[in-house]
């Protein structure tokens, strides 16, 4: 035992030294937050956790999440000490070409998820722990290290209650209570009764320890491993900057690296504090090569018989539920996470078919998204569903998932004003804008059951980033043949003729308004083409451009969403340099309660509005001639 | 006492009757959620709360927030019973022309804030209660009625801890524990020990009562009024659908109105359950006219001497802090709410000057925003500040503030990749897209200290919706004279000549890149115009269009933000039908750690990229001629 303790004290000293040097070299970084966590990390990485450096993805291995992402130098230090990061590489911390970023991202092979926006780690850990239970890998532990400032984030308490609800006893949290936030002491400071009361009340087994005592930490983890039916929270009393006496526990040192000229003195302080550990001489760890990250492989789906056909009317939200069940039959690691609206999103169909792969996340969207990230990190394919409006509640979590390149599948129901009487609080009107803005995201908005069904399959196969499916509340007629294909990035030309005078680009509910407008205009002998733009990102601008050019150059976009960041801007921006005239109909007034038809009319996105826009545009006699822009002229 | 009790029982019965009729008439609405809350509402509205129907805005009046917004029929019923809603108007519930929306909005004169996205009411209430304390209106009480499902939302626990931290003993929450969520029982169901443990641990005085006993409710509120230094949570055991025996406490009745043909039977059930109350005959309340809502008046600012001048370099985030202090001197009800990053946002300057008007909200952005809504609802002018990236954490709260037409002022620092080494988790890259999508929002992104200072003033004067100011981490030179004006919706032409071959539209940090590009291109005898597009929404497309037309029709936009929903799309969309060529430079690769210069180069948004884009565009010899689009041709 005493050898173990002295070894771990040695490791903790070495981690501090590595972190100190790395941050000083970088000229920035959160050294004081790293120092308070050094002993915890040493105990975890050099004794408690079971993992294989050659197989970071092994589902039987324990997992670690650094929720207080800014303290990452101490984790890089651990991998340095384990031999998979060389001293040279450690000093690339925060440099452009380094995978050792300022906050952890999966660009570094041993990081599963991106952190840095605080308060998400415990939810991610809960997702990992639950996935392990649900897939019979119930042996591994998931460890989550949090800061004490981030415990103010509500998402932490969402995770707290869900972990306790699902009795995740192999989820072990550690709070590094160093008392100081970025700019001020935390609310609870060193009030450990407060921590104990809160976490106990939330159903956790709480162990309070001195976070700088290797002995107490070892004891705490040992006790934690014997707890049944409850998650465990280790509340560790620490000191910010611990090890460098001159700044220990002082305000004003958050996120500040030491100056190069100070380094020798700081190292001397470390040696003085940890004289015993510092006197130990061990050989440098041999540098090991890191295994390459496995490419995320998309499952290949077998064709599925669609359980509906033309003539039927089915809400796309219901088609999503049906599709999830059908694909769930062949994709074993498909999960459904729902935010207590399963009877609205139709995730309830999946629950009925595969109860063990359905996770009720209750009304806690932030936790649902981060749990989804945890499921993804262990290789599962979760679909997170709620009202489209409520992804706004968890958009920081979605943003962080995108930074971690997690292929999270999101499904938002109750799109737009078409939901009617419930009013604006329940209407998804910003969701397309939110999801489009993320790198590598895919935004899908099908109008009928067939396209919805096919696109759910496309989402399963899409592994390069976030994919989002927007579904509609009301039933809509099936307009596509079951054999039709709907690739991501495509669109469908559903009406066209040789004498079209405009093309209407619609999606979801407005496709039916466009079809009505088409009929209406026919009565006046006006022909228009209609595009079902089911893939809003990527956008099939090539097809839209080609059809618009054939249709006298007039384009009308129409969407049940606010204009900024929506379909209209996407199309307008994409075709801005083309010789076209583009009118965009979108929600531009704050909506209210009313019938679906009243609201579509109020916002000017119904068939009448389309008819009026087409008539107005084509009668506008636009006769401008694009100036010749010739290099020689431009530079004259 | 017994007269009081029988009167309140009568009121509760009447409220149930009104709500039942209103929802049945509407054909939709959450009647069962309304019924569980009827006794609580009766006791609050007809005995406990002090308010004046003729003066809804009176700062001395108690306030009520219906956090479980879907139960609003029971609140409309209360106003019906108070005489300010006629029977006829009550039956317009959920109709297009009615102010009695499906979820509460301030279109109805007695509603202060929009609710309907769950879990926000307690934060709003905490904001109201704290505002009352800080402005010496410490007499009024703030009551918040929550559902038990929404207690799963983390934002509730953010509010719980902040209310206890600030010892808001005049904040009284009530949880309507009817055991059933939308689609499944709640996590805690009727486990009142769980409720007591959690709320006590969070520092609240907890009172558990039978929520259908008028006597117990009266007693609870009376006790609540005697609690010192702590907020109070009344946990009320209720039954969903209480009063209609045939469906009481049953699953499957959430959000479902009864059919018209059932109404008589349902009324009969009500009468049977409350036979004593139903037998009381009182006169219908005389219908009173509601007072008109006061227009929100913007303060008129006196000119301020700017404490910096040209030649200096000051980060715009610091200029924000300086401006807030200066305006704080003349605007008495200006407040600063900060998310524990006051030394990054420079809200710390305001704290130092006006500690009593600074509110430390810790790392709990959702609660900060909703507290801000509470401050606004009591007439104050709060500026909520954090990293721009972290408004993503509270975007549902911002969305709901927009639905409630609350003029919330938001300031996000650390915009874009230019922050450098901290990496993508800390970079605001979606914030412009998020804020632009909201109705009536204003999005400002100044490049220097003068414009920042002036725009903070413009935000104080803007009362029609959300305003958002995006600030930059690094210091930038002051380029404007202190006398320059910066109206919302304007832009500044900062370089132009008679022989410009393109116009570069930049904002914030990229303005300086554009200026460098301007210099660089001059060396090759290429002149460009440069616009500082400090107001991204509204956009001054008129000026951009005019200058672009004078500049050979070439436009290059450049921004430190993702392309979708950002400056490029705003400009491109707005000028899509003009005879121009628009190139857009924006962040399009997932960024990482690195220096600011490396990252601006990596994303192709630095001076070199601008130079290259201009040279490429003007040498592209675009010679297309816009087709003549003539009505007669179109319809031939």
Half-sphere exposure of B177 (CA within 13 A, CB side): 21
Q: In the structure, what pLDDT confidence band is assigned to residue A298 with cuts at 50, 70 and 90? A: confident
Residue A634 has pLDDT above 50, yes or no: no
Residue where the block lists tokens 């799963």? B152
Radius of gyration over alpha carbons of chain A, in Å?
28
Question: pLDDT of B193-203, one tens digit each?
Answer: 999 999 999 99
Q: Can you tell me the mean pLDDT for B379-395?
A: 98
Query: pLDDT at position B305, please?
Result: 92
Q: In the structure, what pLDDT confidence band is assigned to residue B296 with cuts at 50, 70 and 90? A: confident
Q: Can you tell me the mean pLDDT for B148-155?
A: 98
Which of A158, A584, A624 comes nearest B152 by C-beta? A158
Residues 6+ apart with CB under 8 A from A275: none
Residue A408 has pLDDT above 60, yes or no: yes
Q: In the structure, what pLDDT confidence band is assigned to residue A633 with cuts at 50, 70 and 90? A: very low
Measured distance CA(B125)–CA(B113) in Å, rounded: 10
- Does B184 lie at the interface with A, CB-CB under 8 angstroms? yes
Q: Can you tell me the mean pLDDT for B369-386?
A: 97
A365 catalytic per annotation: yes
Q: Whole-number mean pLDDT of chain A?
A: 95
Which of A152, A396, A623 comes nearest B364 by C-beta? A152
Query: pLDDT at position B136, please?
Result: 81
Residue A381 has pLDDT above 90, yes or no: yes
Enter the DSSP assignment of A142: E
Residue A510 has pLDDT above 50, yes or no: yes
* Contact across the interface for A620 and B629, Cβ inside 8 Å: yes
Measured distance CA(B571)–CA(B574) in Å, rounded: 5
Which of B153, B165, B433 comes nearest A187 by C-beta? B165
Q: Which of A288, A181, A505, A483 is nearest to A515 (CA)?
A: A505
* Contact across the interface for B342 and A422, Cβ inside 8 Å: no
Q: In the structure, what pLDDT confidence band is assigned to residue A139 with cuts at 50, 70 and 90? A: confident
Residue B303 phi, psi (nearest 5): -60, 145
* Contact across the interface for B629 and A552, Cβ inside 8 Å: yes
* Pure H helices in B44-189: 73-82, 87-90, 121-134, 154-165
**Shortest Cα–Cα distance, B226 to chain A (Å):** 24
Name which of A291-300, A351-360, B626-635 the model is least confident about: B626-635
Measured distance CA(A244)–CA(A575) in Å, rounded: 59
* Contact across the interface for A629 and B620, Cβ inside 8 Å: yes
**Shortest Cα–Cα distance, B598 to chain A (Å):** 7
* b/e burial code for range A303-323 (CB count within 10 A of at least 16 → b): ebebebeeeeebbbbbbbbbb
Query: pLDDT at position B1, please?
Result: 58
In the structure encoding, which two tokens stand for residue B571, read together?
A: 């400009």
Residue B607 has pLDDT above 90, yes or no: yes
Say if CB B566 and CB B600 are below 8 A apart: no
The full 3-state SS of B309-366, as one line of letters, equals CCCCEEEHHHHHHHHHHHHHHHCCCEEEEECCCHHHHCHHHHHHHCHHHEEECCCCHH
Q: Whole-number mean pLDDT of chain B?
A: 95
CA angle (A65, A67, A72) in 5-degree steps:
80
Residue A153 has pLDDT above 80, yes or no: yes
- The enclosing H or E element of B555 equals strand B554-562
Query: pLDDT at position B622, please?
Result: 57
Q: How many percent of chain A have pLDDT more than 90?
A: 93
For residue A123, what is the nearest residue in chain B, using CA coordinates?
A: B154
**What would the DSSP string read from start to end of B508-543?**
THHHHHHHHHHHHHHHTT-EEEEEE--EEETT-HHH
Catalytic entry in A365, A513, A559, A569:
A365
**What would the DSSP string read from start to end of A34-48?**
HHHTHHHHHHIIIII
Residue A628 has pLDDT above 80, yes or no: no
Measured distance CA(B419)–CA(B245) in Å, rounded: 61
Residue A632 has pLDDT above 70, yes or no: no
Selected residues 188-247 of chain B with any CB under 8 Å from a CB in chain A:
194, 197-198, 200-202
Say if CB A76 and CB A93 are below 8 A apart: yes
Measured distance CA(B135)–CA(B246) in Å, rounded: 50
Q: Can you tell me the mean pLDDT for B405-429?
A: 97
Say if CB A102 and CB B599 are below 8 A apart: no
Query: pLDDT at position A294, please?
Result: 80
Residue A287 has pLDDT above 90, yes or no: no
For residue B345, what is the nearest residue in chain A, using CA coordinates?
A: A183
Q: Can you tell me the mean pLDDT for B347-351?
A: 98
Residue A51 has pLDDT above 60, yes or no: yes
- B-chain CB neighbours of A625 within 8 Å are 579, 625-626, 628
In the structure encoding, which two tokens stand for residue B311, read together?
A: 């030649």
* Contact across the interface for B364 and A114, Cβ inside 8 Å: no
Question: pLDDT of B519-564, one tens digit each?
Answer: 999 999 999 999 999 999 999 999 999 999 999 999 999 999 999 9
- CA A534 from centroid of its chain's CA atoms: 22
**A-interface mutation test, from B197, B392, B557, most A Cβ less than 10 A away:** B392
Is residue B494 helix, strand or coil?
A: strand
- Does B143 lie at the interface with A, CB-CB under 8 angstroms? no
Q: Can you tell me the mean pLDDT for B287-302?
A: 88
Question: pLDDT of A172-227, one tens digit each?
Answer: 999 999 999 999 999 999 999 999 999 999 999 999 999 999 999 999 999 999 99
Selected residues 468-507 of chain B with any CB under 8 Å from a CB in chain A:
501
Q: Could you tell me how many residues make up chain B?
A: 636
**Shortest Cα–Cα distance, A63 to chain B (Å):** 21
Residue A598 Cα distances to A124, A509, A602, B516, B545, angstroms: 42, 14, 6, 52, 36
Q: How many percent of chain B have pLDDT more than 90?
A: 93
Q: Can you tell me the mean pLDDT for B436-447?
A: 98
For residue A619, what is the nearest residue in chain B, using CA coordinates?
A: B631
Measured distance CA(B25)–CA(B89) in Å, rounded: 12
Query: pLDDT at position A622, please?
Result: 57
Say if CB A455 and CB A490 are below 8 A apart: no
Is residue B459 helix, strand or coil?
A: helix
Residue B262 Cα distances to B34, B238, B246, angstroms: 18, 24, 12
Question: pLDDT of B443-463, one tens digit each?
Answer: 999 999 999 999 999 999 999
Q: Can you tell me the mean pLDDT for A476-505?
A: 97
Name which of A342-346, B60-64, B138-142, B384-388 the model is least confident about: B138-142
Residues 6+ apart with CB under 8 A from A385: A320, A336, A337, A338, A339, A341, A342, A345, A347, A410, A411, A412, A413
Question: pLDDT of A321-339, one tens digit each?
Answer: 999 999 999 999 999 999 9
Residue B199 Cα distances to A502, A554, B157, B518, angstroms: 61, 60, 9, 61
Measured distance CA(B60)–CA(B253) in Å, rounded: 39
Q: Can you tell me the mean pLDDT for A398-419?
A: 98
Query: pLDDT at position A286, please?
Result: 86
Q: Can you tell me the mean pLDDT for B140-156?
A: 98
Residue contacts between A and B (CB atoms, under 8 Å): 403
Query: pLDDT at position A1, please?
Result: 58
CA angle (B67, B71, B74) in 5-degree steps:
115
Q: How many percent of chain A have pLDDT more than 70?
A: 97
Pairing of strands B381-387, B334-338: parallel
**What would the DSSP string read from start to end of A277-304?**
HHH---PPPPP-PPPPPPPPPPPPPPP-
For residue A345, what is the nearest residue in chain B, using CA coordinates?
A: B183
Q: In the structure, what pLDDT confidence band is assigned to residue B624 with cuts at 50, 70 and 90? A: very low
Q: In the structure, what pLDDT confidence band is assigned to residue B618 with cuts at 50, 70 and 90? A: very high
Query: pLDDT at position B621, please?
Result: 62
- Does B165 lie at the interface with A, CB-CB under 8 angstroms? yes
In the structure encoding, which two tokens stand for residue B198, read together?
A: 């959690």
Measured distance CA(A279)–CA(A14) in Å, rounded: 11
In the structure encoding, which two tokens stand for residue A526, read together?
A: 């006006």
The residue among B334 and B296 whose pLDDT is bigger is B334
Supply the ipTM of this predicted assembly. Answer: 0.97
Other Cβ atoms within 10 Å of A495 Cβ, number: 19
Q: Can you tell me the mean pLDDT for B277-282?
A: 94
Largest CA distance in chain A: 93
Say if CB A359 and CB A338 are below 8 A apart: yes
* Contact across the interface for A628 and B633, Cβ inside 8 Å: no
Residue A476 has pLDDT above 90, yes or no: yes
- B-chain CB neighbours of A618 within 8 Å are 629, 631, 634-635
Helix B121-134 / helix B154-165 crossing angle, nearest 10 deg = 20
Question: pLDDT of B226-240, one tens digit each?
Answer: 999 999 999 999 999
Residues 6+ apart with CB under 8 A from A352: none
Q: In the structure, what pLDDT confidence band is assigned to residue B632 with cuts at 50, 70 and 90? A: very low
**Shortest Cα–Cα distance, A617 to chain B (Å):** 9
Q: In the structure, what pLDDT confidence band is assigned to residue A629 with cuts at 50, 70 and 90? A: very low
* b/e burial code for range A395-424 (CB count within 10 A of at least 16 → b): bbbbbbbbbbbbbbbbbbbbbbbbbbbbbb
Catalytic entry in B81, B248, B365, B513:
B365
């Amino acid at each position: 035992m005493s050898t173990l303790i002295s070894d771990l004290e040695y490791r903790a000293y070495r981690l501090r030294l590595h972190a100190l040097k790395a941050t000083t070299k970088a000229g920035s970084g959160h050294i004081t937050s790293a120092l308070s966590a050094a002993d915890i990390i040493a105990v975890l990485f050099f004794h408690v956790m079971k993992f294989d450096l050659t197989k970071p993805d092994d589902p039987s291995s324990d997992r670690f999440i650094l929720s207080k992402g800014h303290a990452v130098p101490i984790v890089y230090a651990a991998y340095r000490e384990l031999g998979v990061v060389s001293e040279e590489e450690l000093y690339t911390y925060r440099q452009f070409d380094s995978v050792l970023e300022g906050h952890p991202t999966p660009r570094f092979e041993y990081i599963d998820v991106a952190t840095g926006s605080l308060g998400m780690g415990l939810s991610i850990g809960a997702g990992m722990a639950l996935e392990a239970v649900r897939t019979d890998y119930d042996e591994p532990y998931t460890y989550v290290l949090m800061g004490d400032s981030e415990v103010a984030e509500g998402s932490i308490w969402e995770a707290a209650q869900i972990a306790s609800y699902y009795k995740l006893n192999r989820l072990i949290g550690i709070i590094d209570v160093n008392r100081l936030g970025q700019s001020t002491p935390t609310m609870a400071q060193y009030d450990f009764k407060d921590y104990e009361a809160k976490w106990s009340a939330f159903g956790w087994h709480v162990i309070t320890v001195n976070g700088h005592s290797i002995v107490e930490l070892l004891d705490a983890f040992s006790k934690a491993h014997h707890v049944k039916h409850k998650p465990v929270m280790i509340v560790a009393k620490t000191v910010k900057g611990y090890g460098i006496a001159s700044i220990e526990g002082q305000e004003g040192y958050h996120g500040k690296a030491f100056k190069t000229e100070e380094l020798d003195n700081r190292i001397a302080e470390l040696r003085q504090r940890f004289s015993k550990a510092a006197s130990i001489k061990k050989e440098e760890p041999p540098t090991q090569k890191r295994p390459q990250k496995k490419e995320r492989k998309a499952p290949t789906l077998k064709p599925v018989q669609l359980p509906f056909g033309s003539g039927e009317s089915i809400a796309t939200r219901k088609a999503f539920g049906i599709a999830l069940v059908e694909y769930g039959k062949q994709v074993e690691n498909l999960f459904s996470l729902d935010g207590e609206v399963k009877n609205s999103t139709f995730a309830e169909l999946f629950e009925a078919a595969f109860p063990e792969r359905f996770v009720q996340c209750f009304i806690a969207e932030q936790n649902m998204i981060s749990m989804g990230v945890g499921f993804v990190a262990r290789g599962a394919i979760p679909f997170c569903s709620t009202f489209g409006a409520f992804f706004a509640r968890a958009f920081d979590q979605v943003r962080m998932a995108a930074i971690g390149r997690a292929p999270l599948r999101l499904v938002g129901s109750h799109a737009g004003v078409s939901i009617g009487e419930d009013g604006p609080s329940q209407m998804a009107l910003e969701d397309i804008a939110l999801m489009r803005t993320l790198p590598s995201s895919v935004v899908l908005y099908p109008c009928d059951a067939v396209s919805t069904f096919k696109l759910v399959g496309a989402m399963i196969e899409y592994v390069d980033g976030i994919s989002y499916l927007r579904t509609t509340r009301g039933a809509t007629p099936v307009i596509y043949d079951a054999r039709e294909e709907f690739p991501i990035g495509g669109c469908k030309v559903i009406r066209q003729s040789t004498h079209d005078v405009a093309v209407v680009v619609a999606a979801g509910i407005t496709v039916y308004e466009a079809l009505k407008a088409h009929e209406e205009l026919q009565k006046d002998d006006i022909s228009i083409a209609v595009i079902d733009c089911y893939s809003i990102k990527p956008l099939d601008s090539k097809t839209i451009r080609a059809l618009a050019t054939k249709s006298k150059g007039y384009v009308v976009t129409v969407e049940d969403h606010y204009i900024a960041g929506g379909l209209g801007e996407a199309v307008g921006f994409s075709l801005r340099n083309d010789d076209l005239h583009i009118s965009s109909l979108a929600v531009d007034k704050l909506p209210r309660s009313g019938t679906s038809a009243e609201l579509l009319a109020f916002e000017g996105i119904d068939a009448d509005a389309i008819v009026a826009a087409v008539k107005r545009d084509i009668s506008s006699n636009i006769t401008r001639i694009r100036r010749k822009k010739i290099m020689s002229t431009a530079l004259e």
